[in-house]
Structure 1
């Protein structure tokens, strides 16, 4: 576990309106649209957890894993939700940027390959000699070389078909590719909605095959956090309780999401939330140790694996990427699956 040390203040990327301890309203930047996995933040509002901390939290939708990071680094959003691997690259390219991860949420990242049994993909050993559909900007595709390296996959035998996000699952459903890269809680459901029988769908999670990377975390502006540590800890406490509420009643979590996204489907988002809880949030490690923190040995391995796909400009230092200084009391972080 990390030692609890207040992170060193970093210089601001851009000038931002000062945020003080008197502020009780927090703008929170999500990584993506209002879908099932966002339920904990809305449940923290609906069930009074933010209010109990004296907070009003405005949750804003995002446009991808990179979206929240500059918003939080600029100070426009004191807190947000982002992929820690993207954060590590951002901080390497912007040394001293005032942003850090403060609570891990996706202990297991959602990076996955989703294939069809009828197309010959029953497991990772079937990827060689197959056709893999991959959107060039896809986060899972960006980490695929790590999966290939740690599993001795001969990528020269794989035909990679660049696909767009809107056409990814339809191409797999039509049999034009054998598998696609994507997130486990999205690609699976998209295929099922296209009529592919669920027993014909194979999900290969990177985390199940030697990839040590973490996933998304709550990130904070370090200047705001240092000036307002109790506010940040209170927000994290409320979010952890929102996660516990979502685990206890995923349908209620999905309903909270649909209340903000009426065009959505509550049954679909319930399943999406349950997939995220089962595979990404409530891992064996989290059930045993509680959510929010990281294992330093695993993070060291993850950083070494990142070198396979990214050339660091500066020597990596995990203390720049994650701090447990603002985590609430341990009992709040214990979340049990239902």
Structure 2
């Protein structure tokens, strides 16, 4: 179903060497603002990984995956970063659009429920009978029916309280709801910053409870990739090295982010990056197989689970959404054990 890349990273760098002198410009579309988890892209710039690939990369902040995906599909941005589940829906609604995921970054998605022990939420078994705060546009809330289905949660016993993003964690801190849907590296930290002791905070990751979905991936315009396969492979290799740099020194990664976002807080973004690395990026599967690729069987299960929350207009096919054809060789993508 998936096809291995022909060019290795070394070959890509050799092929791209004449291009390097021309400093090929590339705009990269993030899905969100500059926060800790975006550190690998800035480290790839600051530590010269993109330059070694012959690329002068500009990373542009975004307003969600539904902002990043059209940017790449239109060709305005050759590459970007977006939730693969959003990409699946986009391609189902826009068949043939020239965009595909080329390197998985969040092997585990950040979808989670964050609750308070003092409000009776110590684990997933406590959700029945609770009050759950959920912003209607929230990505975790969109996938909550999958979590409920695979864990036989009787949602009819729960009270679902629509909340806004700015009021989500304050309502939980004030005890107006027992838990909220959100991302593990955001809601947790927001609650802690409101003064809630960390031993009173429970994080229920969907990926720990039978949800097979993948998370965010590097996406690429397929027309650009077909014309420039060696550049895409080299860029993915540079990003992989940026991830490894972030693993080695999260504080340096956060500092690279804050250099582009002076209003941020280095300590906060270091912690946010560490949470993303530990829960979403450096998983057991990634330690064993290297980052970037996917398990085809898991992807098939994920697509079947998506049917619980989305009615496909066309028969889904994993090959439409992800390819490993441009990945650099495994040695580039291996992370520390």
- Mapped pair 1:297 → 2:297: yes
Report matched runs for 1:259-298 at 5 Å. 259-298=259-298
1:148 alignment counterpart: 148
2:160 alignment counterpart: 160
Taking the aligned partners of 1:290 and 1:329, their CA distance within structure 2 comes to 10
Taking the aligned partners of 1:5 and 1:186, their CA distance within structure 2 comes to 35
CA 309–74 in structure 1, closer or farther in 2 if over 3 Å, else same: same
Q: Does structure 2 conserve the Cα–Cα contact (< 8 Å) formed by 1:2 and 1:293?
A: no
Spell out structure 1 runs of 4+ moving beyond 4 A. Answer: 20-23
1:16 alignment counterpart: none
Shift, 1:329, TM fit: 1.1
Taking the aligned partners of 1:3 and 1:226, their CA distance within structure 2 comes to 14
Taking the aligned partners of 1:289 and 1:273, their CA distance within structure 2 comes to 22
Report matched runs for 1:92-103 at 5 Å. 92-103=92-103
Secondary structure of 1:108's counterpart equals coil
1:38 alignment counterpart: 38
Report matched runs for 1:187-226 at 5 Å. 187-226=187-226
Secondary structure of 1:62's counterpart equals coil
Shift, 1:4, TM fit: 2.3
Q: Deviations over 1:48-101 (max 9, x none)?
A: 000001100000001112110000000000000000000000000000000000
1:52 alignment counterpart: 52
Taking the aligned partners of 2:104 and 2:259, their CA distance within structure 1 comes to 26
1:120 alignment counterpart: 120
Q: Does structure 2 conserve the Cα–Cα contact (< 8 Å) formed by 1:233 and 1:328?
A: yes
Shift, 1:5, TM fit: 6.8
- Mapped pair 1:330 → 2:330: yes
Taking the aligned partners of 1:335 and 1:147, their CA distance within structure 2 comes to 29
Secondary structure of 1:66's counterpart equals helix
1:12 alignment counterpart: none
Which 5+ residue runs of structure 2 have no aligned equivalent? 7-18
Q: Does structure 2 conserve the Cα–Cα contact (< 8 Å) formed by 1:254 and 1:270?
A: yes
Secondary structure of 2:217's counterpart equals strand
Taking the aligned partners of 1:5 and 1:105, their CA distance within structure 2 comes to 18
1:170 alignment counterpart: 170
Taking the aligned partners of 1:65 and 1:190, their CA distance within structure 2 comes to 21
1:255 alignment counterpart: 255
Taking structure 1 as the reference length, the TM-score comes to 0.94
Alignment length (residue pairs): 324
